[in-house]
Amino acid sequence: MANRGTVAGPSLIAPRQRRRTSFFWPFNAYYGWAIAWTALIVSFASSVFYGPVLSVWFEPIREETGWDSWEIAASFTIGSFSGSILTAVIGRVMDRYGTRTIMALSGMVLAGCMVGLAFMQAPWQMWLFFGTGRAFAIAGVQVGTTVAIANWFIRKRGRATAFAGFGLRAGQALVPLAAAAIIVLLNWRWAYGLLAISAILLVTAPALVYLRRRPEDYGLLPDGEPPPEPTSGGEGETRETEAQWTTSQARKTLAFWLILLTTSIMFFAQTATNLHAAPHFQTRGIPFENSVIIVFIFAAISAVMTVPWGWVMDRIHVRFVIAMVSLLYFGSMVVIINAHTFAGAVLFGVVFGVAQGGWTVSQRIVVPNYFGRRSVGGIRGQMGLITAFINPVGPLAAAWIRDRTGSYEQAFTIFAFMFLAAIVMMLIATPPVLRSAPVRSTVRSALLLWAVLIALYLFIQRQLNQSTDE
């Protein structure tokens, strides 16, 4: 497989004697595909707490309550921050005990939070309920499906991860249509209340029935590989096809910090665009119903594109894929800045959707493809401690710029430069070799990259302020 830059070694866990995985999987197919299908279903149901879906509620909530844009966007920011912190807390737990219990509990939390949103009366209540729901959608469901699939697949990880990506993006395409219909027929509160049922049926129930920790626990091997040939001693030695990094080992590599910075600025810009694309087009005179169609277009295209992107990532190193995705995101920013008609908005939806499909899969597999499957939760958790202070700022910053200038153009211009920076960082993030790395030089390189990004941001902000003054 093209995504491995490390040396293989003996498996850390030998397969046990084969035993039944689930009564509700009566097929002869490898059980890892049951994990993949479960990831698709739970990801679909968790999409309520993602930007494209919230964007459908954005204007109806603002019009009824009179809240400012930043007050609504703050709930998204709080959820992203809390999700990153929660990932750091439960990541190692997932690595050790699996994701089944955590994901089942997450479904219950999502349902309770949607009921709370249906009855909220003040901004702080939206911050509490939406923030908590998004935190568990990120840490419990998204990271949970990432860990589960990484444990059951190596060579076919891209294709299996595409299942989860398809579910999330399909939810972002279809749930807004259902929510919009309920909002038009009843109101936005009923939309939250009725969708709460889906969290129990489509998250908690499938997680309890199908999720399992690792294939070795059931006498299986990743990807459904056949057992190894017996050696002269009568036992076959199980070998990994990728090196297995610990969290501390990964943290000492330059690749870790480049991935961290890249995913931070990508999420900063991408989540803000997810949330504010529909309100942006509404400020340009595009009707509410048509703006919902735009959300459907880019979410539907991103869902469909997860499949070919997953196939590509099983053959091309994930860092090149992220670079291509960043270039497409940059193109979408150029389009959205210059789009003043419904046709222009549709073009944005197509380009953004293609990029979104690639990002959905690549951001899930970048950690296991660089550092192996044993510590995916722990490494993602370590990254979460830092990204918690970066990722959530994007939607809030875009809302603040809109309230200050009356448009989102400055925000999307900043995002465009961020996507260009992501291309450069991923191209130089070569896969590390499993050996001790000098911590001092790695930290120094990371701090230098931070300084460059901050200087770039200040330069862009200065140019934007000058153009506004003129």
Of the listed ranges 112-126, 137-151, 242-256, the one predicted with least confidence: 242-256
Percent of the chain with pLDDT over 90: 20
> Is the confidence at residue 172, as pLDDT, over 70?
yes
What's phi and psi for 81, nearest 5 deg?
Answer: -60, -50
For residue 14, is it within any domain?
A: no
The pTM (predicted TM-score) of the whole model is 0.71
For residue 183, is it within any domain?
A: yes
Q: Which domain holds residue 117?
A: 32-213+245-469
What pLDDT band is residue 292 in, cutting at 50, 70 and 90? confident
What pLDDT band is residue 3 in, cutting at 50, 70 and 90? very low
Written as one letter, the residue type at 453 is: L
- Per-residue pLDDT reduced to its tens digit, 394-453: 877 888 888 888 888 888 988 999 999 999 899 888 888 766 444 455 555 556 666 666
**CA-to-CA distance for 70 and 76, rounded, in angstroms?**
10
For residue 100, is it within any domain?
A: yes
- Per-residue pLDDT reduced to its tens digit, 26-43: 677 788 889 999 999 999
Higher confidence at residue 28 or residue 114? Answer: 114
**CA-to-CA distance for 136 and 143, rounded, in angstroms?**
9
> Is the confidence at residue 14, as pLDDT, over 70?
no
**CA-to-CA distance for 67 and 204, rounded, in angstroms?**
33
What pLDDT band is residue 136 in, cutting at 50, 70 and 90? very high
What pLDDT band is residue 390 in, cutting at 50, 70 and 90? confident
What pLDDT band is residue 90 in, cutting at 50, 70 and 90? confident
What pLDDT band is residue 234 in, cutting at 50, 70 and 90? very low
For residue 17, is it within any domain?
A: no
For residue 84, is it within any domain?
A: yes
For residue 350, is it within any domain?
A: yes
CATH of the domain at 140: 1.20.1250.20
pLDDT score for 457: 60
Residues 256-271: what's their mean pLDDT?
Answer: 88
Q: How many CB atoms lie within 10 A of CB 132?
A: 22
Angle at 172 between CA 256 and CA 33, to 5 degrees: 65
For residue 432, is it within any domain?
A: yes
Q: In total, how many domains does the chain have?
A: 1
pLDDT score for 462: 67
- Per-residue pLDDT reduced to its tens digit, 293-325: 888 888 888 888 888 988 888 888 888 999 999
CA dihedral 212, 147, 31, 208 (to 10 degrees): 40
Beta bridge partners of 108: none
pLDDT score for 227: 67
For residue 69, is it within any domain?
A: yes
pLDDT score for 438: 46
pLDDT score for 351: 93
Mean pLDDT of the chain: 81
Residues 209-222: what's their mean pLDDT?
Answer: 82
pLDDT score for 139: 87
